[in-house]
Chains A and B, each alone.
Chain A
Amino acid sequence: MPSNLTRRDFFLSSAAAALLAATPAAALTEAGARQLVDQVVADIDRVISSGQSDAAILREFERLFVRYADVNIMAQYALGADGRSASSSQKRAFNDAFTSYIARKYGKQFRDFIGGRVEVQSARQIKAGYEINTLAYLRGDGPFEVTFHVSDRSGSRKFFNIYIEGVNLLLTERSEIGSMLDRRGGDINAMIADLKGAG
């Protein structure tokens, strides 16, 4: 008996070591991209079934969004060409404000997953990584197509865009940030201040 245990422990720890060693070196694979989406879905389920208060659940969702989304590249894309005239401190301030803004705005949407399920359908390679197509069955509604674009260009596996029935986050938010800038006559600092109260 004791020897069995030791052997199992040895097996487990060497497997863990192998996994740790392999993760940073391996390039993003289709399986890895699928795994990320499975993880996101499992974590959303876990938070929903945790029985916390609504406010606590929303905070958890925001945290999940930051953990699994490549918010830096999303921020840079959303600021677009207007970012060229921004100073590096403005860019940093925008990055921070944008991160909590989309985490708030899209984290809220995770609430719709209550009582629903997400099924991974198919995957395809895209320039920056992989596209994972899923169907979300929400509260007795006909399924919605939700697509994740996953990449490891940030150094770890993260999604950088989501499409819900064809409507994608990057394009929609670039247009919104553009409108916010227009409203402030192109004043980046004023737009960043507005962003902190938006979403």
Chain B
Amino acid sequence: MSRTPRMKAFARPATALVTVLLLSACATTQDVATRSDGINDPYETQNRKVHGFNKGLDKNIVRPVSQAYGVVPVEIRNTVNNFSDNLSMPGVAVNSLLQGDLRGTGLATLRFVMNTTIGLGGLFDAASELNIPEHQTDFGETLTVWGSGEGAYIELPVFGPSTQRDTVGLVVDFFTNPLTYNTIDGDARVVPPTAAAASVLNDREKFSDTIDSVLYESADSYSQSRSIYLQNRRFELGQGQGTDIDPFATDPYEDPYAQ
């Protein structure tokens, strides 16, 4: 009987792995950008519905709650963010290793050890005080390093903009992170997701002006968030090269009304 939870713990990553293989195969076959602007969005109709739902969620719950959370002193909010960031470090170390990024593995491990000990369980970011650079990565990046294509653009309920590849990454990270809801027993299992949610609220409040301008002030918040997400994600993954725009290509100062 005592073996059952263990079996479960193994079965989950195994299921996740199968899902990855299936989905990443799917991602590669659909990797051809269907439009001239480098955006591959065959599920736009569906995505727009999800976007409407997410916007309602933000307007009615996330935004007001984040404003309420903003009343909490910034020192306390930063402490919660530090704690949540620290919990993600083992996963970052594993993904760095899977990417063959030994420096990243070292940084994430060092940060986790230091912040868990002298940072009092991750409440303080002692590593940054000692100038140890931050390092972030996820399974979506690991898939990229392994050669998986981006796949189609997908807007996920609650989680927001993503791609097929990053959706797979999100699922795998959830089930394989040594420190998530899934892998901790007892009452303490609610701690990591709670800290993560608080951390999201903090970011929602901190970047409130920018997020509000995209969601509520732009002419088409769906296509703006899609464009911004893809530009930023490709940049993070080191695939932003070749995005140089040369608006002078048709020299406007010679003949502004050419063409």
Interface, chain A (partner B; CB < 8 A): 72-74, 76-77, 84, 88, 91, 105, 108-109, 126-128, 131, 140, 142, 145, 149, 151, 153-155, 160-161, 163, 165-168, 170-172, 175-176, 179-180, 182-183, 194, 198-199
Q: Is the CB of B248 within 8 A of A168?
A: no
Q: Is the CB of A73 within 8 A of B231?
A: no
Q: Is the CB of A160 within 8 A of B220?
A: no
Q: Is the CB of B227 within 8 A of A183?
A: no
Give min CB distance, A55 to chain B, whole Å. 16
The residue on B at minimum CB distance from A74 is: B247
The residue on A at minimum CB distance from B39 is: A175
Q: Which of A108, A128, A166 contacts B246 (CB 8 A)?
A: A128
Q: Which of A77, A151, A171, A183 contacts B220 (CB 8 A)?
A: A183
- Known contacts A84-B259, A105-B213, A142-B134; is A153 also within 8 Å of B248 by CB? yes
Q: Which of B134, B219, B236, B248 contacts A73 (CB 8 A)?
A: B248
Within 8 Å CB of B245, what residues of A?
Answer: 77, 149, 161, 168, 170-171
Q: Is the CB of B228 within 8 A of A167?
A: yes
- Known contacts A105-B213, A153-B251; is A167 also within 8 Å of B220 by CB? no
B217 located at the interface, meaning its Cβ lies under 8 Å from any Cβ of chain A in the complex:
yes
The residue on A at minimum CB distance from B226 is: A175
- The residues in B between 213 and 259 inclusive whose CB is less than 8 angstroms from any CB of A are 213, 217-220, 223-224, 227-228, 231-232, 234-236, 240, 243-248, 251-253, 256-257, 259
- Tell me, in angstroms, the Cα distance from A175 to B218 when the chains sit together: 10
- Tell me, in angstroms, the Cα distance from A73 to B256 when the chains sit together: 10
Give min CB distance, A134 to chain B, whole Å. 15
| Size of B's binding interface in residues, CB under 8 A | 32
Give min CB distance, B127 to chain A, whole Å. 12
Q: Is the CB of B220 within 8 A of A166?
A: no
Within 8 Å CB of A153, what residues of B?
Answer: 248, 251, 253
Q: Is the CB of A198 within 8 A of B217?
A: yes
Count of inter-chain pairs, beta carbons less than 8 A: 91
Q: Which of A108, A149, A176 contacts B209 (CB 8 A)?
A: A108
Within 8 Å CB of B248, what residues of A?
Answer: 73, 127-128, 151, 153, 160
The residue on B at minimum CB distance from A131 is: B244
Closest 9 A/B residue pairs (Cβ): A166-B235, A179-B220, A77-B247, A179-B219, A180-B219, A167-B231, A166-B240, A127-B246, A128-B248
Within 8 Å CB of A180, what residues of B?
Answer: 219
Within 8 Å CB of A175, what residues of B?
Answer: 37, 223-224, 227
- Known contacts A105-B213, A166-B236, A183-B220; is A126 also within 8 Å of B244 by CB? yes
Within 8 Å CB of B217, what residues of A?
Answer: 198-199
Q: Is the CB of A166 within 8 A of B232?
A: yes
The residue on B at minimum CB distance from A161 is: B245
Give min CB distance, A153 to chain B, whole Å. 5
Within 8 Å CB of A127, what residues of B?
Answer: 244, 246, 248
Q: Is the CB of B219 within 8 A of A168?
A: no
The residue on A at minimum CB distance from B136 is: A142
Within 8 Å CB of B37, what residues of A?
Answer: 175
Give min CB distance, A117 to chain B, whole Å. 16
The residue on B at minimum CB distance from A105 is: B213
Q: Is the CB of B257 within 8 A of A73?
A: no
